[in-house]
Amino acid sequence: MSDELTLSREDVVRLCERVEGAQSRAQAIPKLTDEYPRMTVADGYAVQNELRRRFVAQGQRLVGWKAGLTSKAKMRQMGVDVPSIGFLTDRMACPESSAISVSGLIHPRVECEVAFVTRETLRGPGCTAQDVLAATDHVLPAAEIIDSRFAGFKFDLPSVIADNSSSARFVGGGRARYVEDLDLRTLGVVLEKNGEILGLGASAAVLGHPAEAVAMLVNILAGLGESLPAGSFVMSGGITEAIPVGPGDSVVARFQELGSVSMRFTE
């Protein structure tokens, strides 16, 4: 990683408890850099790693990872040239077509993503999109429900990384397909809320090819001293803009070649 740790171990634990508290109480907090303006990306990952350690110690099972901030528009907005990553656990997974309660969330938004399921371990640095495709068992359509723990969805890169890149819930569904049977750059996606089309996109919106985002994720993991194990579920980043949702909303994400993913939101 390009930058240095500035936080002490005590600060990492303190900030992790702050983020964990905001998640469990569903109460927004100010971005962490308001109090720690020198915080770096490396500090953000130190806080995220502590959050992951705690969740696993509490019995959650790590099922995979997500790449965030993968569209050119979001990267420009944040002034970054690499995605952020976040971990996914079994408690964040929601079945296809299920009712998702928003009571544990602050200001949820939904985005459509291509998810990869790997069959071989991937290691960086130097992991490429070709390596990712060769190690992928299948892809499937997915929806991510992001929920920043920061007030007004306002943050900077170190803060959002500490907040597990806004990970909250995810839904996988549709049709699983082998990567060799698809052109993963040109998949079209339509995102509907209550029957109205609110988002349209093509998978090339994700760094030109979603496998590029997974390769970057693997290289970021390498910087953290970790690899991506076989059998991981990896969400490659939002193709459409994230749309806000609330109780009573029904959402369907329709993917060309991959079928659809749906969910509804309740109190």
> Which residue has the closest beta carbon to ligand 0L1?
68
Q: How far is the CB of 119 from ligand 0L1 (least distance, A)?
A: 24
C-beta of 166 vs 260, nearer to ligand 0L1: 166
Tell me the two tokens of residue 143. Answer: 């929806």
Instruction: Confirm or reject binding of residue 144 to Mg ion (CB under 5 A).
Output: yes
According to CB under 5 A, which residues from 12 to 51 bind Mg ion? none
Smallest distance, Mg ion to C-beta of residue 68, A: 5
166 binds, among Mg ion, ligand 0L1, none (CB under 5 to 8 A by kind): ligand 0L1
CA proximity to 4, closest of 45, 43, 46: 43
238 binds Mg ion (CB under 5 A): yes
CB of 175 to ligand 0L1, least distance (A): 23
- Which residues sit at the interface with ligand 0L1, rule CB under 6 A? 66, 68-69, 84, 144, 146, 148, 160, 165-166, 237-238
Among 195, 63, 54, 189, residue whose Cα is nearest residue 116: 63
85 vs 222 by CB, closer to ligand 0L1: 85
Closest separation in Å from C-beta 148 to Mg ion: 12
Upper half-sphere CA count for residue 146 (Cβ side, 13 Å): 27
Distance CA 186, CA 258 (A): 12
Which residues sit at the interface with Mg ion, rule CB under 5 A?
A: 144, 238
